[in-house]
Amino acid sequence: EAGVTQFPSHSVIEKGQTVTLRCDPISGHDNLYWYRRVMGKEIKFLLHFVKESKQDESGMPNNRFLAERTGGTYSTLKVQPAELEDSGVYFCASSQEVVNTQYFGPGTRLTVL
Amino acid sequence: GDSVTQMEGPVTLSEEAFLTINCTYTATGYPSLFWYVQYPGEGLQLLLKATKADDKGSNKGFEATYRKETTSFHLEKGSVQVSDSAVYFCALGPSYGKLTFGQGTILTVHP
């Protein structure tokens, strides 16, 4: 069974540009989560989808971040325009039920110059 | 709100040494507790978990016991190997879906 995959693995962009990160969850997992780790600090929750609906987006830092999950399969996280403080590693995770173990992808390392 | 505090690293040990990484938490209700590990160049992997008080999670020689009275979930291993070098994250949840993580502890094991 394929695990959670994320694309790209690394992205380097300049301040003001737009970047779109993609996450493909484990097949059949209705719950999809985005997290971020900035500068060696703790991993912080961004948002949670149940199928195509946003269940909780309380961790989204501001309106420069837009997450979508069309059709309840893969998800994208767009940052527009990117700022220096957006640099970090963005993790995606999925689970079958909300109370189940979350399985993480390898992360996307975003560097904003 | 929920929070997790891990011992600060980095932790450097010689092979076959005993490992303890402390983790304490603050939470409402009765969360599950997790240890995740990130090996160099890889993503987060679930190492072990415990779902209720006094449960012991174990995997690959690592153990952690859910201590409600001390709100702790310390990670231990009796004899570390070079291959255990990684970043270890303590986490609690899921609370309405989301996990709350500690800041991570870097472990380096030398031959």
Which pLDDT tens digit goes with each residue over A6-42?
999 999 999 999 999 999 999 999 999 999 999 878 8
For testing the chain B interface, which of A37, A39, A42 should be mutated: the one with the most B CBs within 10 Å?
A42
* Partners of residue A103 in chain B, C-beta under 8 Å: 46
Is the predicted pLDDT of residue A1 greater than 80, yes or no?
Answer: no
pLDDT of A72 above 90: no
For residue B24, give the H/E element and its range: strand B23-26
pLDDT in tens, B75-89: 999 999 999 999 999
pLDDT recorded at residue A5: 94
Contact between chains at A48 and B98 (C-beta distance less than 8 A): yes
Instruction: Say yes or no to pLDDT of B57 above 70.
Output: yes
**pLDDT surpassing 80 at residue A98:** no
Confidence of residue A61 (pLDDT cuts 50, 70, 90): very high
Angstrom distances, CA of residue B101 to CA of A14, A93, A104, B35, B109: 29, 14, 13, 9, 23
pLDDT over 90 for what percent of chain A?
Answer: 84
DSSP B52: S
pLDDT band at B95 (very low <50, low <70, confident <90, very high): low
pLDDT per residue over B7-53, tens digit each?
Answer: 888 999 999 999 999 999 999 888 999 999 999 888 899 999 999 99
Question: Would you call A7 an interface residue with chain B, using a CB distance cutoff of 8 Å?
Answer: no
- Cβ distance of A43 and B101 shorter than 8 Å: yes
For residues A70-75, give the mean pLDDT.
90
Residue B71 CA from chain centroid, whole number: 13
pLDDT number for residue A48: 95
Interface check B110 vs A, CB under 8 A: no
Find tokens 């999950």 and name the residue: A69
Q: Which residue of A has its CA nearest to B44?
A: A104
CB A67, CB A77: distance < 8 Å: yes
Is beta strand B11-14 parallel, antiparallel or unpaired with respect to B105-110? parallel
For residue B42, the model assigns a pLDDT of 85
What pLDDT score does B111 carry?
A: 94
Pairwise CB contact (< 8 Å): B49 & A4: no
Task: Tell me which of B51, B98, B103, B106 to substitute to probe the interface with A (most A C-beta atoms closer than 10 Å).
Answer: B98
The rounded distance, in Å, linking the Cα atoms of A65 and A20 is 10
Query: What pLDDT sits at residue A49?
Result: 95
Average model confidence (pLDDT) for chain B?
93
Residue A76 Cα distances to A27, A56, B12, B77, angstroms? 16, 16, 38, 38
Residue by residue, what is the 3-state secondary structure of B71-91?
Answer: CECCEEECCCCHHHCEEEEEE
The whole-number average pLDDT for the span A84-93 is: 96
